[in-house]
Amino acid sequence: MANKAMRAVLAALLALAGAWLPQRALAQDAPALPAGALRIGVMTMQPGEIFWERFGHDAIVVEDTATGAALSYNYGFFDPGEPGFLGRFVRGEMQYMLVALPLEQDLATYREEGRGVTVQWLDLSPAQARALADALAEAARPENARYRYDYFTANCATKVRDALDAALGGRLHHDIAGRSRGNTYRSEAVRLASPAPWMWLGFDIGLSRNADRQLSRWEEAFVPMRLADSLGEARLADGRPLVASKQVLLPHRIAPEPPERPRPWWPWLLWGLALAAAALLLARRAPRALGAAAGLFWLGSGLLGALMLFLWLGTEHRFAWANENLLLFDPLALLLLPGAWRLAGGRAPGAWFRRALAAVAALAAAALLLKWVLLFSQANEPWIALLLPLHLALYAGLRRR
């Protein structure tokens, strides 16, 4: 149980780190930039079936209108074989790079995976198209290609967005930054990860209130499909649509992108009350069985809380900092394990057990109290509804044992 919970949070971070990666070799020379008239497109790849593909991907296409030859500028590459890669990943200090490669080579993997690919051809002036192509070519040079990666604020989609905005003189930011659909980093991460239960659970548990601020259309463009939506609605200074045409390069042959769904908290409360009732019943009729079951719960909660505490105090994963779920998945629960072992063996749990049990229950209650104290609190109502009744029931059922 503990290992599964910890793997869920770590795998969720890995999925965010790898969500936009085509996972191809890096040992290649950048192709030459076309010399003729250019056409610029934004290529959007739909989500795949493997966990690191759940968030989709995108790239900028530069096409020579005379020959049809096209390059794909892809910000989603990293080298897992470089020294210190694993340590930088754990600390949240990953380095990604921009790579230029022929369009057909970039499409090959998505064709094999059955993932749909569309391109939005932009209505840029020849000067704007050439300036953007030159900027991309310069940025893809080996000495310039690396950038500090952040899974929400500096990924393949936000780098594409920023490159387009620079070519448009800030017009894209001006057009979409003042609007919002009410999405958050958490809601988007949980939605896109929903086909894999362990993955969305890891996101929902591991993300703190830093991921719960409502995003502008500019900020939600960290998701490639959201960026494509905003590009489709954007206008140039003279009122013309930014997107001149849209072309399907590859059909989508697998499950579509998950839709938006409400997340009511009351089903979680029903499960929480059911677990609390079961705990109280076992406290009366089978206290040894409750001690064993509670021990497993406290082990999982304590280890998961220790992991969240490490992400906060020991890494740069700032969207996991100050996670209020630490009050529900409490590292102090590890202090209850000796008492749980004694209870399972039919013995008294020890002198410190009741105090530790009260502290764990009080901290769980504090998670609910924060909803009234803080003006802006974490969107963890479902977890409070599920776990607070259980914490209180364990305290009520075991404090006199």
pLDDT in tens, 301-314: 999 999 999 999 99
Residue 85 has what pLDDT? 82
Residue 193 in this model has a pLDDT that exceeds 80: yes
Q: Are residues 167 and 232 in the same domain?
A: yes
What digits encode the pLDDT tens for the residues 102-146? 999 999 999 999 999 999 999 999 999 999 999 999 999 999 999
Residue 35 has what pLDDT? 65
Q: Judge whether 17 lies within some domain.
A: yes
Whole-angstrom Cα distance, residue 395 to residue 236?
A: 62
Residue 26 in this model has a pLDDT that exceeds 80: no
- Which of 219, 250, 281 is a domain's end point? 250
Residue 85 in contact with residue 165, Cβ under 8 Å?
Answer: no
- Which of 250, 285, 316 is a domain's end point? 250
Q: Are residues 166 and 197 in the same domain?
A: yes
**How sure is the predictor about 24, in pLDDT bands with cuts at 50, 70 and 90?**
very low
Whole-angstrom Cα distance, residue 306 to residue 105?
A: 44
Residue 211 has what pLDDT? 97
- Which of 250, 280, 305 is a domain's end point? 250
Whole-angstrom Cα distance, residue 63 to residue 98?
A: 18
Q: Are residues 275 and 245 in the same domain?
A: no
What digits encode the pLDDT tens for the residues 339-352? 999 999 999 998 88
Residue 79 has what pLDDT? 81
Residues near 153 by beta carbon (within 8 Å), at least 6 away in sequence:
222
| pLDDT-above-90 percentage for the chain | 80
Q: Look up residue 377 and give its DSSP letter.
A: -
Q: Judge whether 257 lies within some domain.
A: no
Question: Which among 309, 312, 320, 326 is positioned nearest to 363, based on CA atoms?
Answer: 326
Q: What is the mean pLDDT of residues 197-205?
A: 94
Reduced to 3 states, what is the DSSP secondary structure of residue 171?
helix
Residue 27 has what pLDDT? 40
Q: What is the mean pLDDT of residues 287-296?
A: 96
**What backbone phi and psi angles, to 5 degrees, belong to 44?**
-120, 125
Residue 102 has what pLDDT? 95
| More confident call, 327 vs 28 | 327
Q: Are residues 327 and 208 in the same domain?
A: no
Residue 45 in this model has a pLDDT that exceeds 60: yes
Q: Are residues 225 and 279 in the same domain?
A: no
Q: Judge whether 85 lies within some domain.
A: yes
Whole-angstrom Cα distance, residue 45 to residue 249?
A: 10
Count of structural domains, the chain: 2
Residue 222 has what pLDDT? 97
Q: Judge whether 46 lies within some domain.
A: yes
Reduced to 3 states, what is the DSSP secondary structure of residue 76?
strand
Q: Judge whether 149 lies within some domain.
A: yes
Q: Are residues 207 and 330 in the same domain?
A: no
- Segments forming the whole domain that contains residue 277: 266-398
Q: Are residues 231 and 311 in the same domain?
A: no
**How sure is the predictor about 12, in pLDDT bands with cuts at 50, 70 and 90?**
low
Whole-angstrom Cα distance, residue 391 to residue 279?
A: 10
Handedness of CA 379, 382, 387, 388 (dihedral sign): positive
Q: Are residues 24 and 106 in the same domain?
A: yes
**How sure is the predictor about 11, in pLDDT bands with cuts at 50, 70 and 90?**
low
Q: Are residues 87 and 22 in the same domain?
A: yes
- Please report which residue ranges of 19-151 form alpha helices under DSSP H: 85-91, 103-113, 126-139
Residue 106 has what pLDDT? 95
Q: Are residues 240 and 270 in the same domain?
A: no
Whole-angstrom Cα distance, residue 109 to residue 319?
A: 31
Tokens 């499409």 correspond to 107
Residue 258 in this model has a pLDDT that exceeds 80: yes
Residue 280 in this model has a pLDDT that exceeds 90: yes
Residue 19 has what pLDDT? 37
Whole-angstrom Cα distance, residue 228 to residue 41?
A: 11
Q: Are residues 297 and 223 in the same domain?
A: no
Q: Judge whether 258 lies within some domain.
A: no
Q: Are residues 292 and 243 in the same domain?
A: no
Whole-angstrom Cα distance, residue 75 to residue 311?
A: 26
Q: Judge whether 100 lies within some domain.
A: yes
Residue 96, strand partner residues: 147
Two tokens at 193?
A: 């990860």
Q: Judge whether 260 lies within some domain.
A: no
Whole-angstrom Cα distance, residue 141 to residue 195?
A: 38
**How sure is the predictor about 190, in pLDDT bands with cuts at 50, 70 and 90?**
very high
What digits encode the pLDDT tens for the residues 68-86? 999 999 999 988 888 888 8
What digits encode the pLDDT tens for the residues 144-176? 999 999 999 999 999 999 999 999 999 999 999
